[in-house]
Amino acid sequence: MSNVKIEELEAERTWLAFDPMRQLRPHLTSAGFVRLVNEEQRPQGYRLVGSWDGESGRVVAAAGFRESSSLAYGRHLLVDDLTTMPNMRGRGHATRLLAWVEREARRLGCAQIHLDAGTHRHDAHRLFLRTGFTIPSFHFARRL
């Protein structure tokens, strides 16, 4: 995996993360994804990082995150999205993205990293546990 590159994607390159992100957010179109990220999420502090596959020259995994602060956790980095193209899973892309995010969290002075994962994403759960994450609480949601 020496030909893998992790790089932050600025607004003009948001579109590069669509293929991996649509694995996690299949309801989005390419144009809708770019618009939501650039016009709604980035102004709220959302940042996007891609993992490039050196052979294909494409972003095959991506992480979207933001800085946050709460009474319970203090200043922390919140990972909203982390996904890898199905044919590229198991090659270390998500692990390298998490390592990049951890370095960035430390650089920003965050005390913790937080993320949610769907209850059905067992492979993701194994990755998170293997990379040092714990399950400190349940996340509840209610549709309105």
CATH of the domain at 21: 3.40.630.30
User: Within a domain: residue 144?
Assistant: no
Q: How many domains does the chain have?
A: 1
Give the pLDDT confidence of 34-71 residue by residue, as tens digits: 999 999 999 999 999 999 998 888 999 999 999 999 99
User: Within a domain: residue 112?
Assistant: yes
With a cut of 60, say whether residue 29 has pLDDT above it.
yes
With a cut of 90, say whether residue 139 has pLDDT above it.
no
User: Within a domain: residue 114?
Assistant: yes
With a cut of 90, say whether residue 4 has pLDDT above it.
no
Cα separations in angstroms, 125 against 69, 119, 120, 133: 24, 9, 9, 9
User: Within a domain: residue 143?
Assistant: no
Give the pLDDT confidence of 91-101 residue by residue, as tens digits: 999 999 999 99
User: Within a domain: residue 140?
Assistant: no
Q: Which domain holds residue 45?
A: 4-129
